[in-house]
Structure 1
Amino acid sequence: MRYRRADTPGATYFFTLNAADRSGQLLTDHIDALRDSFRTVRRSRPFVLDAVCVLPDHLHLLMTLPRDDADFATRIMLVKQGFSRRIPAGERISASRAAKGERGLWQRRYWEHLIRDDADFERHVDYIHFNPVKHGRAERAADWPHSSIHRFIREGVVDAGWASVSGAEMDAGE
């Protein structure tokens, strides 16, 4: 069976990208390289980074494409490649990856979801920002440093106490 991805120009998409080693800290240990990769891709292939949260072994993001553009796949590929080029080699690589000249930093596939409406957008923003709490990395969403929640707090969209372990401020949507 051939998997078909959505291809709606100007749409907003939710993504989950996983590190190949889900037990490591690759993404947070090299957060500056990841940020640089996103910046580089955004200069050559613009998109709006609506929300993002980077955990040690995976990241979630919402991306809105330009009105006449549906090519998120190239953007995701370039972010992953750019990050991989910024990281010193040394990871364990499978024979199949080595044969293809690939690094072993990322899982090959990623999860993508076309955002359908404002409510879907809000649910996914909440999911992204709640993720460090869900995974036991922070008591409050605002305590996690690698999240766009800090921009949302600065802009008055959410309160700094939103989504905490101790309170019932947030339904994780699961």
Structure 2
Amino acid sequence: MKYRRNRVQGGTFFFTVVTANRAPVFSSPAVVDCLRTSFSSVMERFPFEIDAMVVLPDHVHSIWTLPEGDHDFSRRWRLIKTGFTKGAKDIPGLPLGVDGSLWQKRFWEHTILDGQDFERHVDYIHFNPVKHGYVARASDWPYSSFHRYVREGVLQRDWAVDEDLLVGVGRE
């Protein structure tokens, strides 16, 4: 079966990209920095805007807006994944998939339909570390565009707090 992707010129897209076997590849700052380097390198050659993003141990969610007249997010993901894999090869202890890869072969994408859809997906991205139980507050997860949204006054620092997870945790 041939998979078809929605090719919208200058579109905005939500993505989920998962590591091979859901291995916790992004469990250290050095590995996340390597991913940032790969993103930066690709963005220099093939520009796009990262509207929102979160990096969790075994997957990445992001929203991108492509330039007018451009629909090729697949090339960008291929280059990001390849660049990361090459850059991370010297980092000891990275869990490889059965085929020696760090990534699942495919990724999931959704074309953002309107402003409400955009906001819903941004919220999903920023809440994801809380949803998975990594932190009690979105503000506690370091690898998220949530911090940019707070700096820009779009979200409050106390947005997305799981009160149940805060029980027994020192409150600020």
| Paired residue secondary structure (1:21) | helix
Structure 1's unaligned 5+ residue stretches are 98-102, 168-174
Structure 2's unaligned 5+ residue stretches are 165-172
Matched with 1:35 is 36
Q: What is the aligned-residue identity percentage?
A: 50
Give the CA deviation at 1:26.
1.0
- Distance in 1 between the 2:97 and 2:26 partners? 17
Matched with 1:137 is 134
Pair 1:88–1:126, CA change in 2 (3 A): same
TM-score (norm 2): 0.88
Asked if residue 155 in structure 1 is aligned to residue 152 in structure 2, the reply is yes
- Distance in 1 between the 2:27 and 2:106 partners? 20
Q: How does 1:5-154 map to 2 (within 5 A)?
A: 5-22=5-22, 24-29=23-28, 30-88=31-89, 91-94=95-98, 97=99, 103-154=100-151
TM-score (norm 1): 0.87
Q: Give the superposed CA RMSD.
A: 1.5
CA contact (8 A) 2:97 2:103 kept: no
Alignment coverage as a number of residue pairs? 159
CA contact (8 A) 1:130 1:141 kept: yes
Pair 1:92–1:53, CA change in 2 (3 A): closer
Give the CA deviation at 1:21.
3.3
Deviating runs (4+, > 6 A) in structure 1? none
